[in-house]
């Protein structure tokens, strides 16, 4: 039974956790509870998955199969399936998911509910490949939705997702190459070319040094040896290499080709991802503001660096999912892996958000932030939540604060 989130900075306040084995048990539990909330693998850093005084549902014991349909290139998965597990089955059948996040440990339903993403200018968030899902609404009824119904990025506020159907692409191989020391001038001048250098590209920095510490390129071919002035790494790197963290938990680098699901995530399924003792924040701005937003963070570099383990710069393709931070166009993603000093982090967040406000900033729903963004479809989402959950049993303090804006 999980009493805290993965990071340990949130202690869940549910009265009890229930592990249903069947959809019928979920339906009964939801219909009978005044307050209920599904929990995935608990990798969010805020109180989005908490359920004060209510019933938290852990779906990991649900008796449900993964069903791959080669004809339609789709896979139907149980809500609590972990990406790392389904990826092996999908790959064995000759297929792939178009993209993955930095870690393969999260559940599909929890990942999709917060519009979790990877990197790559042509890669949308992991939520965008959901073509449909099944959800138990507040009255206990099982309903089916398509990607166009506004439910996919649901923040756990609409009901309990039991099963999701994901679009697949043909399986593919990638290699992962890391480069050290890319000058900021090169980042600004060649931003488009750098982002186009692979399927997925990440830059790691602490914002205070004169150059970006590392560039990770995951692509089908070998990038040029002189990567815009950066040099090929002489050994495996962890994203927080500059903070002295070893690369033992990282996926294979040094240009060795391998299957998509063993190269796109930064971290291996059989290890603790990232660092473990950390907090995270992430902001998204429209790609046209990329250079200005990076400059704004560099101006804050002297305040950010003492609290940072590392920071990652990525790109995410736009979509039309109602509460997706990428709704309406491609975005630059500015991610921050903090030391576990929540007080210091919370003091910085309003300062960072003020600096990024001119750039239409939107925070990651699953990480630490100060103020949620306004979305064009927020009124529609509230109406959808009212319809599926008129009594508000899925509305925890996070939803009331950031979606309903009650306080
Ligand atoms: C080390 C680390 C690395 C990360 N890397 C990335 C990254 O590369 N990119 C990125 O975007 N994010 C990243 N994240 C954030 C992470 O992907 C998200 O927080 C994600 O939502 C976690 O999924 P989860 O299964 O743990 O969900 P949880 O935290 O358990 O829940 C998240 C939300 O989903 C809801 N939910 C869960 N299950 C269901 C269900 N069955 N039905 C309806 N709602 C449900 C919950 O109620 C809650 O609202 C990272 C986090 C960590 C700890």
Same domain, 133 and 191: no
pLDDT at residue 275, rounded to an integer = 83
38 Cβ inside 6 Å of ligand 1 = yes
The structural domain count of the chain equals 2
77 Cβ inside 6 Å of ligand 1 = no
Same domain, 81 and 159: yes
111 Cβ inside 6 Å of ligand 1 = yes
Taking a C-beta distance cutoff of 8 angstroms, is the pair 298, 184 a contact? yes
Same domain, 115 and 178: no
| C-alpha span between 46 and 281 (Å, rounded) | 10
Same domain, 245 and 234: yes
The Cβ of residue 300 has, within 10 Å, a number of other Cβ atoms equal to 16
pLDDT at residue 10, rounded to an integer = 97
Domain membership flag for residue 357:
yes
128 Cβ inside 6 Å of ligand 1 = no
Block means of pLDDT (10 residues each) for the chain, 407 residues, are 89 96 98 96 98 97 95 98 96 97 96 98 97 98 97 98 98 97 97 96 97 97 91 94 91 96 94 89 98 98 97 98 98 98 98 98 98 97 97 97 89
162-187 burial, b at 16+ Cβ within 10 Å, e below that, comes to bbbbbbbeebeebbbbbbbbbebebb
pLDDT at residue 271, rounded to an integer = 85
The three-class DSSP label of residue 145 is: strand
Among 339, 363, 387, residue at a domain's last position? 363
Among 120, 155, 171, residue at a domain's last position? 171
Domain with 243, as residue range(s), is 173-259+274-363
The three-class DSSP label of residue 267 is: strand
385 Cβ inside 6 Å of ligand 1 = no
pLDDT at residue 1, rounded to an integer = 55
Domain membership flag for residue 306:
yes
Nearest atom in ligand 1 to the alpha carbon of residue 6 is 53
Domain membership flag for residue 51:
no
Taking a C-beta distance cutoff of 8 angstroms, is the pair 319, 125 a contact? yes
Among 171, 199, 221, residue at a domain's last position? 171
41 Cβ inside 6 Å of ligand 1 = yes
pLDDT at residue 383, rounded to an integer = 97
Same domain, 66 and 145: yes
Same domain, 224 and 344: yes
Q: Write the CA distances from 60 to 64, 82, 110, integer angstroms.
A: 10, 9, 12
Domain membership flag for residue 229:
yes
Nearest atom in ligand 1 to the alpha carbon of residue 126 is 11
Q: Which residues partner with 39 through β-bridges?
A: 58
Nearest-CA residue for atom 51 of ligand 1: 43
Same domain, 80 and 202: no
Among 113, 164, 204, 388, the mutation site with the greatest number of ligand 1 atoms within 8 A of its Cβ is 113
Domain membership flag for residue 246:
yes
C-alpha 251: how far from its chain's center?
A: 18
CATH classification of the domain holding 239: 3.30.70.2520
Same domain, 203 and 311: yes
Same domain, 253 and 352: yes
CATH classification of the domain holding 92: 3.30.465.10
């Amino acid at each position: 039974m999980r009493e805290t989130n993965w990071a340990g900075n949130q202690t869940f306040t549910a009265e009890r956790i229930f592990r249903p084995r069947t959809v019928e048990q979920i339906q009964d539990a939801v219909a009978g509870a005044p307050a209920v909330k599904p929990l995935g693998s608990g990798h969010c850093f805020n109180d989005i998955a908490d359920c004060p005084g209510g019933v938290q549902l852990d779906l990991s014991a649900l008796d449900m199969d993964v069903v791959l349909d080669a004809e339609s290139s789709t896979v139907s998965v149980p809500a609590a399936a972990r990406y790392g597990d389904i990826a092996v089955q999908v790959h064995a059948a000759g297929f792939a998911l178009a993209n993955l996040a930095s870690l393969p440990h999260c559940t599909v339903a929890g990942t999709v509910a917060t519009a979790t993403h990877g990197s790559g200018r042509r890669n949308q968030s992991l939520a965008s490949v959901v073509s449909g899902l099944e959800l138990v609404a507040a009255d206990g009824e099982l309903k089916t939705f398509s990607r166009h119904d506004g439910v996919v990025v649901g923040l756990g506020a609409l009901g309990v997702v039991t099963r999701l159907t994901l679009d697949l692409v043909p399986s593919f191989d990638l290699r992962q190459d890391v480069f050290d020391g890319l000058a900021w001038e090169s980042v600004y001048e060649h931003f488009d070319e750098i982002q186009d250098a692979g399927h997925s590209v990440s830059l790691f920095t602490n914002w205070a040094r004169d150059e970006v510490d590392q560039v990770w390129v995951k692509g089908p071919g070998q990038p040029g040896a002189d990567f815009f002035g950066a040099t090929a790494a002489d050994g495996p790197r962890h994203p927080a290499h500059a903070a002295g963290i070893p690369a033992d938990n990282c996926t294979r680098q040094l240009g060795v080709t391998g299957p998509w699901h063993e190269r796109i995530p930064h971290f291996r399924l059989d290890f603790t991802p990232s660092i473990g003792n950390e907090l995270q924040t992430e902001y998204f701005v429209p790609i046209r503001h990329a250079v200005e937003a990076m400059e704004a963070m560099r101006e804050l570099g002297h305040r950010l660096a003492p609290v940072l383990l590392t920071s990652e710069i990525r790109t995410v393709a736009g979509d039309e999912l109602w509460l997706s931070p990428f709704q309406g166009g491609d975005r630059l993603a500015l991610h921050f892996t903090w030391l576990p000093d929540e007080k210091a982090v919370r003091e910085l967040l309003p300062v960072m958000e003020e600096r990024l406000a001119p750039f239409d900033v939107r925070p990651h729903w699953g990480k630490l932030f100060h103020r949620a963004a306004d979305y064009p479809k927020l009124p529609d989402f509230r109406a959808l939540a009212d319809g599926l959950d008129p009594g508000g049993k899925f509305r925890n303090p996070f939803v009331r604060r950031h979606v309903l804006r009650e306080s």
